[in-house]
Amino acid sequence: MAIKARVRVVALFLLVLFLAPVVNLTRFQVLRSEALLARPDNTRTLEDLSLRGSLLDRAGQPLAQTRQGRRVHPLGPVTGPLLGYLTGRLGAAGLEASLEARTVGYAIPRTPMQAWSLLTRGDRHGDDVVLTLDRGLQTLAWELLEGARGAALVLDIPSGEILAVASRPSFDPARLEADWERLRVDPSAPLIERGTQGLYPPGSTFKILTMAGALADGRTRSDEVFVCTGSMDAGNFILHDNAVHGRVDLKEALVVSCNVTFATLGQRLEVSGLRRWMDGFGLLEAPALVPNAAEAQPMQPGAPSVAAEAGIGQADLLVSPLGMARVCATLARGGIDLEPRLVRAQTRRGQVTWRPAAPRPRRVLPEAVAGEVRRAMEEAVARGTGGRAAVPGVAVAGKTGTAENPHGEPHAWFVGYAPAEAPKVAVAVLLENSGGGGLHAAPLASRLLQAALSR
Amino acid sequence: MSERRSGLVLMALVSAILVLGAALAQAGLQRLEPPSPWPSVGLILGAFWIGWLLSALRGRGADFMLFPLASLLCSVGWLEVYRLGPAIGSPALGERQALWIALGVGVFILALLVPGDYRTLEDYKYTCLLTGILLQVAVMLFGTEINGARLWFEIGPVLFQPVEVVKILLVVFLAAFLRQFRHWIRLGLLSAEGRLPRRALFLLGLGWAAAEGVLVLQKDLGMALLLFGLFLSMFFLSTGRRDLVALAAMLAGVGSWVCYHLFGHVRVRVGAWLDPFSDPHGQGYQMSQALYALASGGLDGSGLGMGRPFLVPEAYTDFIFVALAEEWGMLGALGLLMVYMMLVTRAFRVALAAGDEFGTLLAAGLATLVAWQTLILVGGTVQLAPMTGITLPFMSYGGSSMLANFLLLGILWRISAVGEVSGGD
């Protein structure tokens, strides 16, 4: 019967038509989903953001807040990669993402328990989070880095709080979505926060740790005299120093940054000893209250030269600027470590709803040992490699670093603290591929220390 | 027998989906303090199982998958309607829909139990036509106006939308009329002297005029599209004249173009369809909200009761498919489309198995009706076509639509039950 043949034709025709909605569902639910969610008139996104709490600096000034349904960052690129971003299209990153659990009143629950607490909670507004940052110092740190790639970090010594952590290159969060395609592939990595997440060979700044470890372990004494001939046998190759330092005692070796001395101490400590001291200073574990921080990578045992190279902060070990600032602060406290922190409190309409436990002081090494290293660091600034870090009227202690790396020119480092006799603030300055630390990084540290002390 | 077992498995699955879904929806809506879903779930499941058992016991060789497939659609639709009720401020929506589903199953059972043969319907074709026309005219004159359209009768506490029944009456009429006169129409067409196929053209013209009339007089774009699609499909089924169908489709295109330029409300509809974001707070509001709902649902959806489908106006009727795509995700929406395809396929199988031309035409017409209605509504909500105010079969909230769709299902079942027995005619 011809009718039945036509029934098949009509049925097939109609069933094929059912494919059309599948095409559009794929377009709207998958392919164009993010673009649709990011549209400014999409109240779903607005509703989510308007319930977000703000991020505040230590004085309660906003660093991130929602205005007319958009997340705004008043300091713009100054806090760029540190705070990250929060948009419907690109999602969240940086502190905005890590602190989401506190700033979000309404989130898509990921576990049954979250779903339950979401359902039973009345007020869906998220809390504010108070950070330890100081707006003025943060802005200064960022301005000092102008024209460079690198990071500048200021640590409050009595509390362990991070007062400033600037990173260049940065991005303007207000133009993030427009610039996204460029930012994403930019080889200079503007989306990475270098102060806490960037890992670098510490170079000579690491000598303060080598010295402290060797003294505490009894591998050397403060009056030991080393003979520097400008080079030494590191095991499987000849390690060259930047100068022939002749006969130097331990303190003098740090002041002039003698590689032969500290490579020798590295050999005496061995890889295991150096690693133990990195762990002792807390470098091998990321601090819990600095979200996204990267822990240091210790050197891998292998060639006989590793211990010697690691003693002067080379080999394959990597530390963040935060990590080196932490070592400085520990020495400045006379050998007591406080875990650095970036988060002060969680508040709701000005009332504190959560506060992290007070940092637990932890003795890392004897006070006398810390004192030896501190005196050497003080003289390194007073008459040694770190001269340009000096601040008029204040005694500064510190150590420069010029870290060889596979990416070109050495990284310029300076780590230090001030005032030397009663330390208040520690700094770490790192400039990628810009040469000598004493020449380039130390002057920035001077400006930062001066500003931090007059705060 | 194995088909009956498949139907049984599907019914068990439907029951599980309904129970688990209701528990999920209730948990997801905790803060809105929804009414308990369990009385409604009990009512629906009771009706489903009675309907299934009766259809399985009575039918010999009848189609055992039609009813379970429709039950699946009803269950999923009910879960979404129940979930939307408290969010849009009418918590009893789920209970009312459950009642309509139960009454719908009642209509299905009645259709099973009525003695006699479906073929007697053929003798009442003009009664069907007249009833349909009378209902449509009456609703235009005496109906209650809602949102600027006069499509409902108010009977006590319920709204009755006669067009839902008129569609079925029209299919019955067309099946009977075209069966009787298809050779006559064809003969007219086949005249070798090069004369115009006047009778066929006249008939096509009538169908076209009816559709345009609905569009102009009732401002009901969806129904006009549906009537015309249905008419053309059935005309093709009975006469097989592709050229004339193409001609009519072109005429429809011309008619649409004329309407677009003549009527402001059509222009507004089309504008909101093609670019909803040009006026996202006015005419494009519903469409742009629907697109946001789809986008926020994504591939796997927000979860039942966890999304915000209530931001889309009319989410529980015209836009229930979008609400579902948001909360059940694209995967859920695709699954649902597949269930519709299966239902339509089964209905066409009934047409192929029917033992007489009227049965074939009637079943194919009803299958076409379900398919076109689903396609027009889903297309309208995913920006494939201008959005239209018709219902999604078995899913949208609404009594008239539910009862009419179960009546349609009952007729299909009757055709299938006879088709097997009298297959040797």
Give the mean model confidence (pLDDT) for residues A175-181. Answer: 87
The pLDDT-based confidence of B40 (bands split at 50, 70, 90) is: very high
Asked whether the predicted pLDDT for residue B421 surpasses 50, the reply is: no
Using a CB-CB distance cutoff of 8 angstroms, which residues of chain B are in contact with residue A33?
294-296, 298
Give how far A92 is from chain B: nearest CA, Å.
Answer: 16
CA atoms within 13 A on the CB side of A287: 25
Span B276-335, pLDDT tens digits: 888 777 788 888 889 989 988 888 888 888 788 888 888 888 899 999 999 999 999 999
A205-209, B114-118, B371-375, B421-425 — which is least confidently predicted? B421-425
Asked whether the predicted pLDDT for residue B197 surpasses 70, the reply is: no
Asked whether the predicted pLDDT for residue B418 surpasses 80, the reply is: no
Span B63-87, pLDDT tens digits: 888 999 999 999 999 999 999 988 8
Bridge partners (DSSP) listed for residue A247: A227
Distance in angstroms (rounded) separating the CA atoms of residues A58 and A60: 6
Give the mean model confidence (pLDDT) for residues A118-142. Answer: 81
Check residues B280 and A455 and name the one with the higher pLDDT. Answer: A455
The pLDDT-based confidence of A205 (bands split at 50, 70, 90) is: very high
For chain A, give the percent of residues with pLDDT over 70: 91
CA A435 to chain centre: 21
Residue of A nearest to B28 (CA): A119
Asked whether the predicted pLDDT for residue A121 surpasses 50, the reply is: no
Q: What is the pLDDT of residue A115?
A: 59
- Alpha-carbon distances, residue A132 vs A60, A85, B322 (angstroms): 10, 19, 46
Inter-chain touch B295–A37, beta carbons under 8 Å = yes
Rg (CA), chain A: 27
Vertex B61, ends B58 and B62: CA angle to 5°?
65
Span A310-355, pLDDT tens digits: 999 998 999 999 999 999 999 999 999 999 999 999 888 788 888 9
Using a CB-CB distance cutoff of 8 angstroms, which residues of chain A are in contact with residue B249?
none
Check residues B240 and A333 and name the one with the higher pLDDT. Answer: A333
3-class DSSP string for chain A: CHHHHHHHHHHHHHHHHCHHHHHHHHHHHHHCHHHHHCCCCCHHHHHHHHCCCCEECCCCCEEEEEECCEEECCCHHHHHHHHCEEECCCEEEHHHHHCHHHHCCCCCCCCHHHHHHHHHCCCCCCCEEEECCCHHHHHHHHHHCCCCCEEEEEEECCCCEEEEEEEECCCCHHHHHHHHHHHHHCCCCCCCCHHHHCCECCHHHHHHHHHHHHHHCCCCCCCCEEEECCEEECCCCEEECCCCCEEEEHHHHHHCCCHHHHHHHHHHHHHHHHHHHHHHCCCCCCCCCCCCCCCCECCCCCCCCHHHHHHCCCCCCEECHHHHHHHHHHHHCCCEECCCECEEEEEECCEEEECCCCCCCEECCCHHHHHHHHHHHHHHHHCCCCHHHCECCECCEEEEEEEEECCEEEEEEEEEEECCCCCCEEEEEEECCCCCHHHHHHHHHHHHHHHHHCC
The pLDDT-based confidence of B425 (bands split at 50, 70, 90) is: very low
Using a CB-CB distance cutoff of 8 angstroms, which residues of chain A are in contact with residue B174?
none
Distance in angstroms (rounded) separating the CA atoms of residues B54 and B112: 8
Using a CB-CB distance cutoff of 8 angstroms, which residues of chain A are in contact with residue B351?
4, 7
Inter-chain touch B375–A29, beta carbons under 8 Å = no
A13-27, A142-156, A363-377, B137-151 — which is least confidently predicted? B137-151
Q: What is the pLDDT of residue A120?
A: 54
Span B126-173, pLDDT tens digits: 899 899 889 888 888 888 877 667 778 887 778 888 888 989 999 999
Distance in angstroms (rounded) separating the CA atoms of residues A159 and A157: 6
Q: What is the pLDDT of residue A50?
A: 56
Inter-chain touch B311–A24, beta carbons under 8 Å = no
The residue count of chain A comes to 455
Where does residue B314 fall: left (phi above 0), alpha (psi -120 to 50 degrees), or beta otherwise?
Answer: left
Which tokens is A223 given?
Answer: 């009056």
Spatial contact of B45 and B15, defined as CB atoms under 8 Å apart:
yes
Q: What is the pLDDT of residue B222?
A: 80
Span A93-108, pLDDT tens digits: 899 888 877 776 544 4
A33 closest CB neighbour out of B27, B298, B306 = B298
Q: What is the pLDDT of residue B151?
A: 77
Distance in angstroms (rounded) separating the CA atoms of residues B337 and B313: 22
Distance in angstroms (rounded) separating the CA atoms of residues B276 and B273: 6
The residue count of chain B comes to 425
Inter-chain touch A6–B240, beta carbons under 8 Å = yes
Check residues A54 and B251 and name the one with the higher pLDDT. Answer: A54
Asked whether the predicted pLDDT for residue B190 surpasses 70, the reply is: no
Distance in angstroms (rounded) separating the CA atoms of residues A438 and A195: 19
Spatial contact of A165 and A426, defined as CB atoms under 8 Å apart:
no
Give the mean model confidence (pLDDT) for residues A450-455. Answer: 93
Of A176, A154, A174, A180, nearest in space to A165 by CA? A154
Inter-chain touch A119–B357, beta carbons under 8 Å = no
User: Which residue, chain included where needed, has tokens 């292998």?
Assistant: A302
Span A231-263, pLDDT tens digits: 998 888 888 888 999 999 999 999 999 999 999
Under DSSP, is residue B59 helix (H, G, I), strand (E, B) or coil?
coil
Q: What is the pLDDT of residue A199?
A: 96
A11-15, B369-373, B380-384 — which is least confidently predicted? B380-384
Q: What is the pLDDT of residue A122?
A: 47
Give the mean model confidence (pLDDT) for residues A432-445. Answer: 91
Strand A425-431 vs strand A55-56: parallel, antiparallel, or unpaired? Answer: unpaired
Q: What is the pLDDT of residue A244?
A: 92
A41 closest CB neighbour out of B280, B296, B379 = B280
Which residue segments constitute the domains of chain A, with CATH numbers given? Answer: 42-131 (3.90.1310.10), 199-453 (3.40.710.10)
Write the DSSP string, B212-244: HHHHHHH--HHHHHHHHHHHHHHHHHHH--HHH
Spatial contact of A337 and A323, defined as CB atoms under 8 Å apart:
no
Q: Which residues of A touch B (CB under 8 A)?
A: 1-4, 6-11, 14-15, 17-18, 20-22, 24-26, 28-30, 32-34, 36-37, 39, 41-44, 108-109, 115, 119-120
Bridge partners (DSSP) listed for residue A168: A150
Q: What is the pLDDT of residue B424?
A: 35
The pLDDT-based confidence of A91 (bands split at 50, 70, 90) is: low
Q: What is the pLDDT of residue A119?
A: 53
